[in-house]
């Protein structure tokens, strides 16, 4: 292949990877409130104490941030 052909193939592959990962990685970051609401609806019937394995303590931030 010529240099232009290799560049075009690489560019096409990069574009396809970006198009595939956009809805997974970047769309939730730009529509934060919508995803928070959807997550709250999906987790509304779940009690954390019922799904946590026995003996596993509740997670706490080791750096003391709020």
Report whether 29 contacts 22 (CB < 8 A): no
21 belongs to a structural domain: yes
- The whole-angstrom separation of Cα 64 and Cα 44 is 27
Residue 61: the pLDDT is: 78
The two structure tokens encoding residue 33: 């409130």
51 belongs to a structural domain: no
62 belongs to a structural domain: no
Predicted confidence (pLDDT) at residue 1 exceeds the cutoff of 80? no
pLDDT tens, residue by residue, 12-65: 999 999 999 998 888 888 888 998 899 899 989 888 888 888 888 888 878 877
25 belongs to a structural domain: yes
66 belongs to a structural domain: no
15 belongs to a structural domain: yes
Residue 66: the pLDDT is: 65
Residue 21: the pLDDT is: 92
The two structure tokens encoding residue 39: 């997550």
Residue 18: the pLDDT is: 92
């Amino acid at each position: 292949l010529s240099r232009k052909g290799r560049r075009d193939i690489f560019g096409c592959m990069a574009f396809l990877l970006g198009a595939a990962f956009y809805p997974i990685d970047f769309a939730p970051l730009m529509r934060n409130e919508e995803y928070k609401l959807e997550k709250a609806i999906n987790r509304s019937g779940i009690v954390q104490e019922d799904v946590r394995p026995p003996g596993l303590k509740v997670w706490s931030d080791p750096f003391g941030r709020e």
